Chains A and B, each alone.
Chain A
Amino acid sequence: MQFKTTSSPHYTPENSVNTIMRRVLLAMIPGTLATIFFFGWGVIINMLLACVVALGTEALMLGMRNRAIKPYLLDGSAILTACLLALALPQLAPWWLTCIATVSAIIFGKHLYGGLGFNPFNPAMVGYVIAIISFPKEMTQWVPPLLEGYTHLNFLQTFQVIFGGQVPAGLSWDAITMATPLDTLKTQLGLELSINDIHQHEVYGPMFGAVGGIGWEWINGLFLAGGLWLAMKRVIDWRIPAGLLGTLFFLSNSFALYDYSSFTPPTFHMFSGGIMLAAFFIATDPVTAATTPRGRWIFGAGIGFFIFVIRTWGGYPDGIAFAVLLMNMTTPLLDYYTMPRAFGHHWREFPQHTKKHDDE
C-alpha cells in the first residue's frame, strides 16, 4: 500500500520578497496620507518622481549586470526605497535633488554591492545622507504643516517650485517654507533660550502643537500604527523598534529630568521628525539589520542612542540616517557575537568560531 504524499498544503509561505515589500508599503499608507494632508502636493510629486527614477535606475543597473529585469523590478524593493526616500526629503526639494538622491541610493547603496540582499547599508538612507551632505541648503525646504500665517501652495505652484525652482509671484521662500520643529529647537537652544521660552515664543511657539509639532505628531502616530500592524503580522521583528524607541525614551527622559529647560522632553523626541518611520520601516530592513534576537535589541538600541546623541549634540537637526548607517556597519559584528546557542550544545562549546570555520 502506498500513501499519497503531497508537498505540505497546510502552510503557504508568506515571506517572499514580494509579499514583504507589499505589506510594508501597505502599512506605510496611513502615515503617508497624513504626510500628504499636512505637507501638501510636494509629497506626492516627490514620491512619483522618486519611484520613476528608482525603477529606471534599477532596470538600467539590472541590465548592465546581466540580471533578469522583470522579476527584480517587480519585487517592490526599489519602490520601497524610493518611497522611504521621498518621505524623508523635504517636500519642496528641487527635482534634481530627488533624482540624485534616488539614483545614488539605487546605484551606490544597492547595486554596487551586488543588489538586493547584499547591500550592507540601507539604500534609502545612503541616498538621504548623500543629499544632506551635498546640498544642505536645499534640504531645508520644508513646508509649514497647515500653519496659519503661511501660504499653502496648490498643485500647480508646487509643481513649478519643484521643477522650475521659482517661487510663485508675490511670495518669498520664507512664506512657503519653514524650519522643522527639531531644527527650530536646535537653533533656539543654541541661542540660550529655554525649552519653555521656545514653546511660548510668538513666532516659533505655534508649530510645536501638543506633543511633537503640528502635523508631525499625527504622521508619527499613524506610522506607529502601521508599524505595529507589521510587527503583529511578523513582517518585521518588534525587537528593533522596541530597542530603538526604548533607548530613545530612556535617554531623553533621563536628560530632561536632569535639566528640563535645555533638553527636549521624551514625548517630543518620540513624535517629531521621522522617528516612527525610522523605527518601524527603515531600521527593520531585513537585509541591513541584525538577524539574531539579541543582536536586534542591540541594533535598535544603538540607533536610538545615536539618534539622541546627534539630535542633542550633533551638527544636524535629525540624525536618523546617520544613526541607521552607523549601526548597519556593526551588523556583521552583532550577528557574530550574538549567535544563539544551537540546540543540544552547551553555551560554553558554542559558538565555535575558529579561524578555520571562518575561512570555509
Chain B
Amino acid sequence: MSNADYNEISKNGLWTNNVALVQLLGLCPLLAVTGTVINGLGLGVATLLTLVLSNSSVSLIRHWVRPEVRVPVFVLIIASIVTTIELSMNAWFHDLYNVLGIFIPLIVTNCSILARAEAFASKNKVLPSMIDGFMMGLGFTAVLVLLGGMRELVGRGTLLADAHLMFGEVARNWTLVIFDDYTGLLLAILPPGAFIGLGLIIAGKNIIDKRLSKRQAQAVQNTGQEAIA
C-alpha cells in the first residue's frame, strides 16, 4: 500500500464519503444526543473507538470467515466491542455514560460500523482497515461536534457546557457563555433542531463541493488553453 492510498482513505472518511453527511448513516444517535458539544464528542469518540477496533478485528479474520455467515460474525464482534466500551465508560466516565444512556449500547446498530466492516475491512489488510475506521470515525465525530456546537450555541447560548463529564474536574469552568442573559431557542435543543441543523450542514458541504468542482473545472480549462497556446 502506498501513501497515496492512505490519503485517499482519509479523504474518503473525512469528506467525500463522510458517514453522517454523505452516507447519512447512524442518524439516530447523531440526531438524538447532539444537544451539546460534549455529548456529541463523547458519542463520537465512542463510535470512533468501535470503528477502529471492529475494522481491525474484522480485517484480521477476513480469510477464515465464510461469506455465508459473515454478517452474524461481524455483528458478534461489533457487539462485544461495544459492550466493552460501554462497560469502560460506565466505569470511568460514569456521568457522561448516564447522559448518553441508551445510545452507547445502540452503537451496535449504527449502520456505518457494519457497513465499513462489510465494505472495507473484510476486503483489505489490517493497517488500511484500521486507518479507514479511524478516519470514518473522525469524520463522524467532527459532524457530531459541529452539530452539537450549533445546537448548544443557538439553544442555550453556551459552548462546552458540562465539559467535566468528559475531562474531569479541571474542565468544570471551561463553559463559554457566548450570549449573556439568553432566553434560549428551545427548538434547537429539541429533535427538529437536529434535523434542521444537519440539513444546513449538508447544504454547506454541497456548496463547498460545488465551488471546489467549479474551481477545478476552471483550472483544467486554463491548463488546456495554455497547452493549446
Contact = CB atoms under 8 A, between A and B. Distances in A.
Interface of A: 100, 108, 112, 130, 133-136, 138
Given A133-B190, A133-B192, A136-B186, 14 more contacts: A100-B185, A108-B196, A112-B199, A130-B187, A133-B186, A133-B187, A134-B185, A134-B186, A134-B187, A134-B188, A135-B183, A135-B185, A135-B186, A138-B183
Q: What are the nearest 3 A-B pairs in CB distance?
A: A134-B187, A134-B186, A134-B185
Contacts of A108: 196
Contacts of A130: 187
Contacts of A133: 186-187, 190, 192
Contacts of B196: 108
Nearest to A97: B183
17 contacts: A100-B185, A108-B196, A112-B199, A130-B187, A133-B186, A133-B187, A133-B190, A133-B192, A134-B185, A134-B186, A134-B187, A134-B188, A135-B183, A135-B185, A135-B186, A136-B186, A138-B183
B42 to A, nearest CB: 26
Contacts of A138: 183
A133 B192 CA distance: 10
Contacts of A135: 183, 185-186
A356 to B, nearest CB: 28
A134 B185 CA distance: 5
Nearest to B188: A134
B55 to A, nearest CB: 37
A108 B196 CA distance: 9
A100 B196 CA distance: 15
A107 B196 CA distance: 12
Contacts of B190: 133
Nearest to A130: B187
Interface in B182-205: 183, 185-188, 190, 192, 196, 199
Contacts of B185: 100, 134-135
Nearest to B192: A133
A108 B183 CA distance: 21
Contacts of B183: 135, 138
Nearest to B186: A134
Contacts of B187: 130, 133-134
A334 B173 CA distance: 55
Contacts of A136: 186
Nearest to A136: B186
Contacts of B186: 133-136
Nearest to A133: B187
Nearest to B189: A134
A135 B182 CA distance: 12
B208 to A, nearest CB: 16
A9 to B, nearest CB: 48
B198 to A, nearest CB: 13
Contacts of A134: 185-188
A135 B183 CA distance: 8
A138 B185 CA distance: 12
A249 B188 CA distance: 37
A100 B185 CA distance: 10
Nearest to B196: A108
Q: Which of A100, A134, A136, A138 has the most CB of B within 10 A?
A: A134
A112 B199 CA distance: 10
B57 to A, nearest CB: 43
